[in-house]
């Protein structure tokens, strides 16, 4: 099997960076934020006088437990403010629209503002706790003392039908961030008697996309950007999900009721586990130690061969082999889609043991007929579908009918009514040029799970390569990428997926301490949320350094293999 292009890409970047990385002494150093106490809460409902803004409530919340996505965190005493911006009636569907938001303003404030960018289709004002990195984080932004903002990005339900409204599309893409930011800073100034000293924008998945778009469009507003598993090419990723369904359908059995392919039968959990084990067998020791974890992803793509390293079935599928047809489908999916001209339509992805994770399979099998079909039909196509036309057929049928030749290009289209294309409003403009961010001393951290089932980590690595090339090999002076081996989409998989990148980002922005590595923990027995997919051979408390791309965590040759201290980024 020939070396994957990422191996060459990483080598090129390593040469650009040199052994010790690059620096730029001319970059400005931003000063540190200073704390301030909350001056008012109840009066905030009447104190903010901004056009098109309505504060609906402001109430004091005592110190105590705050639940978010199954995790309970002890939150500090704070003021909870809720409101709406730009309330209107949609001209196309007659529905009510607004940018809904909440802010949580701690009584003991650290002087910083955190814009919590949320995931998926947005549509819900998620609790503004500031949980923006790693799985089941132990130090969310609110706990660290940030004033935190959360919003629904301009529509009130997590369904794709808002895509028929031209303005709601733009708000979802980027304009909600631009609308909310000055409001939030003004509200903070009223609440504390001063505006935030430093402002941060952070999120994972679509929230990571919001963050990357913000790094391009709102570099003058934010001092630190944290983007996790970013869907910064989301329209291409979503259409690729539909294409994946078409590939898996070739090796799926049909549902007895609907007659449509049951994608869950294409590759069973046991078969994905088999493939993951063969990846471990070929690649585990490439980082200097056999510990059940593959850190050297570039070398692994050259070492692992799906065709020869995984047994081919000669009889029934029993989990000990996969068929030649399955191999053909998987090879195509990992290589990524191409059109009839041979042009790549989205970046492929890597072979990593994390493909055995349940989250990886759910994105491949469950997502195309549900969230991706609707998102493509209404948000990433111009003009969008109608509700009547879309609901007339099952989502799986929409996925199977989607044409990468004639439907895919509609993400770049405009009409008189939809004057900005989905590609334009969803992606960061000039994504390889972050001069505005760099020149004002702002910083950016990106992290991505190597076994993400929807957004290609390879795509993110290639973006980092382009950023480096465009900034003369010195992009790491203001932007750094951390790959998380084994991790699925934002969390999960056989990985050390619990980490805090917000505090290192603050230290980089405000103290000039560039992070060369970030320590990540496994979530074994005793963790606030236990990861059931950790291999039995791992310590429940395993730690590993996450390294600045393209460096790899390599074993030092001595020391406890369960400890991050026994590894170095090289």
Taking a C-beta distance cutoff of 8 angstroms, is the pair 183, 50 a contact? yes
DSSP-assigned letter for residue 148: E
Look up 489 and say whether it is catalytic.
yes
Other C-beta atoms lying within 10 Å of the C-beta of residue 298: 24
How far apart (Å, rounded) are the C-alpha atoms in residues 232 and 363? 17
Cβ contact 12:463 at 8 Å: no
Q: How many beta carbons lie within 10 A of that of residue 130, not counting itself? A: 29
Q: DSSP letter at 344?
A: B
Q: What is the pLDDT of residues 486-535, one digit of tens each?
A: 999 999 999 999 999 999 999 999 999 999 999 999 999 999 899 999 99
Closest CA to 475 of 504, 428, 437: 437
pLDDT at residue 155 is higher than 70: yes
Q: Find where tokens 């869950």 sit.
A: 264
Residue 2 pLDDT > 70: no
Is residue 205 flagged as an active site residue? yes
Under the banding of pLDDT at 50, 70 and 90, the label for residue 137 is confident
Q: Which residues have a Cβ under 8 Å from the Cβ of 173 and sit 6 or more positions away?
A: 213, 420, 422, 425, 426
Rounded Cα distance between 544 and 555, Å, is: 10
Residue among 483, 453, 421, 458 at smallest CA distance from 346: 458
Once rounded to an integer, what is the mean pLDDT over residues 157-166? 97
pLDDT of residue 198: 98
Nearest alpha-carbon partner for 116 in 207, 209, 197? 207
Q: What pLDDT is stored for residue 8 in this prediction? A: 37
Q: Which strand (E) or helix (H) includes residue 66?
A: strand 64-68
What is the C-alpha to C-alpha distance for residues 207 and 51, in angstroms, rounded to an integer? Answer: 26
Task: State the distance between the two ends of the chain, measured CA to CA, in whole angstroms.
Answer: 25
Q: Which of 233, 221, 212 is nearest to 185 (CA)?
A: 221
454-471 confidence digits (pLDDT tens)? 999 999 999 999 999 999
Q: Which residues pair with 54 in a beta bridge?
A: 84
Q: Is the pLDDT of residue 28 over 80?
A: yes
Give percent of the chain with pLDDT exceeding 90.
91
- Secondary structure (3-state) at 52: coil
Q: Which of the residues 133, 151, 199, 205 is marked catalytic?
A: 205
pLDDT tens digits, one per residue of 294-312 = 999 999 999 999 999 999 9
pLDDT at residue 381 tops 80: yes
The single residue of 122, 287, 489, 491 carrying the catalytic annotation is: 489
Q: Are strands 224-228 and 198-204 parallel, antiparallel or unpaired?
A: parallel
Length of the chain: 570
- Over residues 542-567, the mean pLDDT reads 98
State the Cα–Cα distance between residues 524 and 497, nearest whole angstrom. Answer: 11
Q: How many CA atoms lie within 13 A of 71 on its CB side?
A: 19
Distance (Å, whole) CA 259 – CA 46: 58
Give the residue from 183, 172, 180, 156 showing the smallest Cα distance to 209: 172
Q: How many CB atoms lie within 10 A of CB 11?
A: 13
d(CA 262, CA 252): 6
Per-residue pLDDT tens over the stretch 317-344: 999 999 999 999 999 999 999 999 999 9
pLDDT(434) > 80: yes
- For residue 213, what are the CA distances in angstroms to 77, 148, 467? 32, 19, 14
User: What is the reported pLDDT for 12?
Assistant: 37
pLDDT value, residue 25: 54
Strand 443-449 and strand 479-484: the pairing is parallel
Average pLDDT, the chain: 94
Which pLDDT belongs to residue 355? Answer: 97
Contacts of 164 (CB under 8 A, 6+ apart): 90, 92, 93, 378, 384, 386, 387
Tokens of 528: 């606030």
DSSP-based three-state secondary structure for 200: strand
Per the confidence metrics, is the pTM higher than 0.85? yes
What is the three-class DSSP state of 570?
A: coil
Measure CA 157 to chain center: 21
Asked if residue 72 has pLDDT above 90, the reply is no
Range of weakest confidence among 33-37, 39-43, 302-306, 382-386: 39-43
Q: How far apart are CA 569 and CA 14, in angstroms?
A: 12
Confidence at 16, pLDDT banded by 50, 70, 90: very low
**Element (H or E) spanning 480, and its range?**
strand 479-484
For residue 527 the two structure tokens come to: 């963790």
- Helical segments of 55-174, H only: 141-144, 166-170
Q: What digits encode the pLDDT tens for the residues 225-253?
A: 999 999 999 999 999 999 999 999 999 99
Q: How confident is the model at residue 51 (pLDDT cuts 50, 70, 90)?
A: confident
pLDDT tens, residue by residue, 258-293: 999 999 999 999 999 999 999 999 999 999 999 999
Q: Is the pLDDT of residue 4 over 90?
A: no
- Between 23 and 373, name the one with better pLDDT: 373
**CA angle, 442 then 445 then 447, to 5°:** 165
Residue of 171, 284, 352, 452 marked active site: 452
411: pLDDT strictly greater than 60: yes
Convert the pLDDT of each residue in 340-360 to its tens digit. Answer: 999 999 999 999 999 999 999
């Amino acid at each position: 099997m020939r070396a994957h292009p990422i191996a060459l890409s990483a080598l090129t970047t390593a040469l650009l960076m040199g052994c010790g990385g690059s620096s730029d002494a001319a970059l400005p150093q931003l000063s540190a934020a200073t704390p301030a106490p909350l001056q008012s809460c109840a009066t905030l409902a009447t104190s903010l006088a901004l056009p098109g803004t309505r504060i609906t409530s402001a109430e004091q919340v005592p110190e105590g437990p705050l639940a978010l996505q199954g995790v309970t965190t002890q939150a500090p005493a704070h003021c909870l403010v809720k409101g709406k911006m730009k309330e209107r009636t949609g001209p196309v569907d007659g529905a009510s629209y607004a940018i809904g938001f909440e802010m949580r303003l701690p009584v003991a404030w650290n002087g910083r503002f955190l814009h919590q960018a949320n995931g998926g289709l947005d549509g819900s004002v998620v609790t503004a706790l500031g949980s923006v990195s790693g799985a089941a984080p132990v130090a969310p932004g609110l706990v660290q003392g940030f004033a935190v903002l959360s919003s629904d990005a301009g529509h009130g339900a997590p369904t794709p039908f808002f895509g028929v409204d031209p303005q709601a599309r733009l708000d979802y893409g980027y304009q909600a961030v631009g609308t909310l930011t000055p409001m939030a800073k003004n509200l903070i100034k009223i609440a504390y008697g001063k505006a935030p000293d430093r402002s941060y924008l952070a999120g994972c998945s679509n929230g990571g996309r919001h963050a990357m778009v913000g790094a391009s469009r709102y570099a003058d507003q934010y001092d630190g950007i944290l983007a996790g598993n970013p869907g910064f090419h989301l329209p291409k990723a979503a259409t690729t999900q539909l294409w994946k369904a078409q590939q898996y359908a070739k090796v799926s059995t049909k549902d007895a009721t609907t007659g449509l392919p049951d994608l869950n039968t294409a590759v069973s959990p046991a078969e994905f586990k088999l493939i993951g084990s063969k990846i471990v067998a070929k690649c585990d020791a490439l980082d200097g130690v056999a510990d059940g974890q593959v850190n050297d992803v570039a070398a692994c793509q050259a070492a692992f061969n799906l065709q020869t390293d995984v047994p081919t079935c000669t009889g029934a599928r029993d989990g000990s082999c996969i068929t030649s047809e399955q191999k053909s489908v998987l090879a195509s999916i990992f290589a990524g889609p191409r059109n009839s001209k041979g042009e790549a339509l989205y970046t492929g992805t890597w072979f990593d043991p994390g493909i055995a994770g349940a989250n990886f399979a759910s994105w491949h099998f469950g997502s195309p007929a549900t969230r991706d079909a609707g998102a493509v039909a209404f948000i990433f196509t111009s003009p969008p579908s109608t509700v009547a036309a879309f609901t007339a057929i099952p989502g799986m049928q929409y996925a199977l009918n989607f044409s990468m030749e004639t439907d895919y290009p509609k993400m770049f289209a405009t009409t008189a009514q939809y004057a900005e294309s989905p590609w334009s409003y969803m992606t960061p403009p000039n994504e390889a040029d972050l001069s505005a961010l760099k020149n004002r001393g702002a910083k950016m951290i990106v992290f991505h799970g190597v076994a993400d089932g929807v957004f290609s980590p390879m795509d993110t690595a290639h973006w980092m390569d382009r950023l480096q090339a465009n900034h003369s090999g010195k992009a790491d002076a203001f932007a750094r990428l951390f790959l998380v081996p084994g991790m699925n989409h934002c969390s999960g998989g056989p990985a050390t997926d619990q980490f805090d990148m917000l505090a290192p980002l603050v230290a980089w922005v405000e103290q000039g301490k560039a992070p060369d590595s970030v320590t990540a923990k496994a979530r074994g027995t005793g963790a606030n949320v236990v990861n059931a997919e950790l291999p039995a051979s791992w310590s429940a408390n395993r730690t590993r350094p996450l390294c600045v791309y393209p460096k790899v965590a390599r074993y030092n040759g001595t020391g406890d293999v369960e400890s991050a201290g026994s590894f170095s980024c090289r």
